[in-house]
Chain A
């Protein structure tokens, strides 16, 4: 630590700290223009000039990059400094008279107008003041090295390579962020890239995916992170005090020995854009159920506030049931949870806004404990229930100045009339559907799926958590649409099944195995290559094949193939099957 004296205030700082930082600690303001915490001091605007006095000699230095030494005396507001600042500011004012940041800094320094004429006077409010912050951030932080200065003197300007848009620019927006005048702007052109999953607005590359997640740690989206594009930035690592940011983490394949597996791979939601009549993905303020759930979340993008895209509170909200479910074009089954969460949505919208709420339903299915009571409570809250599946959602023709209100068309089957309901927010209750990779997963575990595409249980009533493959269990929406209480019950049942085997310590295996009678085996080895589990070994000295009981799964392929009928499938022997045949065909 060294002690320096800034404007008669003594301050203790680490050696080599720039004067600007030391002054900040002493509570002294030094004007800056080109400086930013993000990159190394550039020292080009000279506005932070201060007077350093060592003994009888004094020097003018820039505070942003001059390191302090023991015993330095610094004057930040001497007559000399004031004169230097005045000249710098007047020169800037003469060239860029309307730039807000220049005007403000000049005002802070008590400078009203410039004495100088300028050949390159730029009246624009967002003129480039050549501070170089964009160039520095692009070079040092982003390391894309796209922006640079070109030409000299009054012709100096910030350019892209060859003055053209370059594909080396990763469009990170860092230059626009640091630009003090707004000269660099991010223009969102018609973005036809992939649609992010469940976002209601922009998010950063490092974010906490869900506040309820365990462990609650941020993740980095490698696709949008600057570091993974250019190797630069690392801003998050710089500010993280426990040094917890690790860019080298890779996906890894971990092999775990497990005797029993519980599959809880969950569900996907039906893509609302497949039903174009509801305008999902085309009209503003049409949300899927999960998107709206995110909006309701107090840690979500709106902090739990129910609002339209323009930030206003909705005046009327329409909740459309059975989008993609109970629909022979898409999924014939009922997703079970939608009626109840639709009521919950209505309750929360009623709670948080003044909006009128309309529910468009086919049938209300309030089937669980306490559900019917909740439904009647909602009816008392003044929710409008319209029995009839909505036909379409359109933009209403009378909407003005982007105040886009929507119109829901439907048939109200209770009054037998066609209705048009104006709303300004629509929530779709999308069907639950099997995960996209359900086939790949079920092949890995050799289990089946039911006609609706969800995993098939061993028995729909008596064994809804086991599967036909021993040791593989299923629970939750991977088995079929269900709500949280049902999922918890099913998962507990599966866990109990699994524990019962663990506490037993041993597993009974199916006695269905192939067995080779040594007497009849001719050692032809036909069965060896047929076995999909390589369970049949050939014994060289005896010249016969034997079955490994642990590897054999009892499919019987070898039994059927053995030309000498030396192989017997226990439980399914030739004699047994032939006896079955005879019995079957007796009558």
Chain B
């Protein structure tokens, strides 16, 4: 069977989650690979959630927030942006392709943007192939007794 990526998405309640909802209401076809976790704000997304997602078997993580200046909580999306930049550096040193993490600004009215991003991101992950980070971590922890994350 062809590889179907598993993608975890953290969407903020006010913009991207509503935008994804709009895509659904508007009957826009988007890939079923994306599994959404609703947070109140993209600023709530702890970098450890992302690493945990990779550890638990996610092949990609998508974070959706409000456009700059539109954050329901004034500036949570900027916090998310800062964290994503740092985390990408860390991912490189772990050997995870940074393309597996994507931060997008999708507003509540942009159902079509959500569809586009979801399709494109799924395609990217599909071409990158499975991450298999879980096996990697298990091997490491059994051989070196080291715990990652």
A interface residues (Cβ-Cβ under 8 A, vs B): 443, 446, 448-451, 456, 460, 468-469, 512, 530, 532-533, 553-557, 559-561, 569, 572, 574, 577-578, 580-582, 584-585
Contact = CB atoms under 8 A, between A and B. Distances in A.
Interface stretch (B71-79, B95-103, B116-124, B139-147): B71-79
A532 B80 CA distance: 14
A578 B73 CA distance: 23
Nearest to A460: B25
B46 A574 contact: yes
The 8 closest A-B pairs by CB, nearest first: A556-B44, A555-B73, A448-B108, A557-B43, A532-B74, A555-B41, A560-B46, A585-B56
**Which of A446, A554, A555, A585 counts the most B-chain CB atoms under 10 A from its CB?**
A555
18 contacts: A449-B107, A468-B13, A469-B72, A532-B74, A532-B76, A533-B73, A555-B43, A555-B72, A557-B44, A557-B73, A559-B44, A577-B37, A577-B39, A578-B49, A578-B52, A581-B53, A584-B37, A585-B56
Contact of A581 (B15, B47, B49, B73): B49
Contacts of B13: 468
Interface string B75-113: 110010001000000000000000000000001111110
Given A532-B75, A584-B8, A556 B108 contact: no
Given A448-B108, A451-B109, A556-B40, A585 B8 contact: yes
Interface in B1-59: 6, 8, 13-15, 18, 22, 25, 35, 37, 39-41, 43-49, 52-53, 56-58
Contact of A468 (B35, B41, B49, B108): B108
Nearest to B111: A451
B39 A581 contact: no
A410 B119 CA distance: 42
Question: Which of B13, B14, B46, B76 gathers most chain A CB within 10 Å?
Answer: B46
Contacts of A553: 73
B69 interface: yes
Nearest to B79: A557
B73 A532 contact: yes
A578 B50 CA distance: 10
Contacts of B76: 532, 555-557
Nearest to A584: B35
Nearest to A452: B109
Nearest to A582: B56
Nearest to A557: B43
A560 B40 contact: no
Contact of A585 (B46, B53, B69): B53
Given A553-B73, A572-B40, A581-B52, A559 B108 contact: no
B72 to A, nearest CB: 5
B109 A448 contact: yes
B49 A451 contact: no
B70 interface: yes
How big is chain B's contact interface, by range? 35 or more
A448 B107 contact: yes
Contacts of B40: 512, 554-556, 569, 572
Residue of A449, A451, A460, A572 most packed against chain B (CB within 10 A): A451
B53 to A, nearest CB: 6
Interface of B: 6, 8, 13-15, 18, 22, 25, 35, 37, 39-41, 43-49, 52-53, 56-58, 69-70, 72-76, 79, 83, 107-112
Contacts of A574: 46, 48-49
Contacts of B58: 585
Contacts of A584: 8, 35, 37
Contact of A448 (B14, B37, B43): B14
Given A451-B111, A555-B76, A560 B43 contact: yes
A556 B37 contact: no
A66 B107 CA distance: 77
A450 B111 CA distance: 9
A563 to B, nearest CB: 11
A553 to B, nearest CB: 6
Contacts of B74: 532-533
Contacts of B37: 577, 580-581, 584
A569 B25 CA distance: 29
A533 B72 CA distance: 11
Contacts of B44: 555-557, 559-560, 569, 572
A572 B13 CA distance: 12
A456 B74 CA distance: 19
B130 to A, nearest CB: 13
Contacts of A585: 6, 8, 35, 53, 56-58
A25 B57 CA distance: 102
A557 B41 contact: yes
B10 to A, nearest CB: 8
B91 to A, nearest CB: 17
A139 to B, nearest CB: 54
Contacts of B49: 574, 577-578, 581
Given A559-B44, A569-B44, A446 B72 contact: yes
Contacts of B8: 581, 584-585
A581 B69 CA distance: 29
A557 B83 CA distance: 11
Contacts of B112: 451
Nearest to A461: B25
A549 to B, nearest CB: 15
Given A555-B72, A555-B73, A556-B41, A450 B109 contact: yes
Given A555-B72, A577-B39, A468 B53 contact: no
A208 to B, nearest CB: 39
A569 B70 CA distance: 22
A443 B74 CA distance: 10
A330 to B, nearest CB: 17
Nearest to B37: A580
Nearest to A561: B79
Contacts of A561: 79
Nearest to B47: A560
Contacts of B53: 581, 585
A560 B46 CA distance: 4
